[in-house]
Amino acid sequence: MSNLSEFEKTGFLVLESFVDDLACDRLRSHALELVSRFDPEGIRTIFTTNEQSRVADDYFFASSEKISFFFEENAFDKNGQLRQSKELSINKIGHALHDLDPIFNQFSRTKKIANLVLELGLTSPLPIQSMYIFKQPFIGGEVNCHQDSTFLYTEKGSVFGLWFALEDATKNNGCLWAIPGGHKLGLKSRFIRTEKNTTEFQVFDDSKYDLSSLVPLEVKKGSLIVLHGLLPHLSHANESPHSRQAYTLHLIDKSWLYPKDNWLQRPTLPLRGF
């Protein structure tokens, strides 16, 4: 079965050994370097996928065209102090690494990636969001079942998510789980930015996912998982002593209409293709 037919059937594609160990190690080392230079003083923005507690602030909105740092939900004690070092407290870095950092830019814009997304249907691929995800030992938070198109909606096609495993991802340390074929069920909701510069969910279908249909996507370091924007997927909390670091890159097509009420906007940093 071709990559395209497999992707269209299941809504995801697993490609082992897509990047070599050296490239993975370089990205991991550089991410830690970025964290070491980050001053967390006064910044308490956490990342959560809980729809009831998700909040938007100026720091979150500005991250669309910056390199910003977000903490794990359990990183702080009751007095607002970090429970452990910042290196073990960061949930993710986002959301413009691919455009603002030379090393992430080089990793994100290879001919191999461009050829793959062209094969899967993008005619003019446009990277729009990047995230470095740490999935910290013991405190790496759960990511609830969701669709990427909820947060990065286009009016013609669907966002493509590229999920690069920089370490082995297993059921023990919080690998991805997905519902095969779930991308055919339609979009359940949109996370939109209001005219008052707040956010809210616009719900189209409030039915629950059949979580019994989830399958684990355990992969080795260097693997790439391609996710259809409508594919329901999640990851459980990491309660193991091992991190599960990954890099994600989301792409749309330049020809698709990207609405102005998507939370992620780039008013001063132009979008660049390959």
pLDDT, tens only, 185-241: 999 999 999 988 889 999 999 999 999 999 999 999 999 999 999 999 999 999 999
Structural domain includes residue 90: yes
Structural contact between residues 233 and 31, judged by C-beta atoms closer than 8 angstroms: no
Domain count, the chain: 1
Length of the chain in terms of residues written: 274
- Separation of alpha carbons 238 and 244, rounded Å: 8
Token pair 């609830």: residue: 144
- Scan for tokens 């702080």, then name that residue: 76
- Structure confidence by residue, pLDDT tens digits, 41-59: 766 655 454 443 345 578 8
Residue 17 lies in a domain: yes
CA–CA gap between residue 159 and residue 171 (Å, rounded): 26
Has residue 267 been placed in a domain? no
Domain membership of residue 70 (yes or no) is: yes
- Domain containing 26 equals 3-253
In a domain, 262, yes or no: no
Cα→Cα distances 257→61, 145, 181, 252, Å = 20, 26, 25, 9
Contact status, residue 259 vs residue 150, Cβ threshold 8 Å: no
Q: Is residue 72 part of a domain?
A: yes
Residues 6+ apart with CB under 8 A from 264: 64, 95, 128, 129, 151, 152
Looking at residue 184, which CATH number applies to its domain? Answer: 2.60.120.620
Provide the whole-model pTM. 0.94
In a domain, 141, yes or no: yes
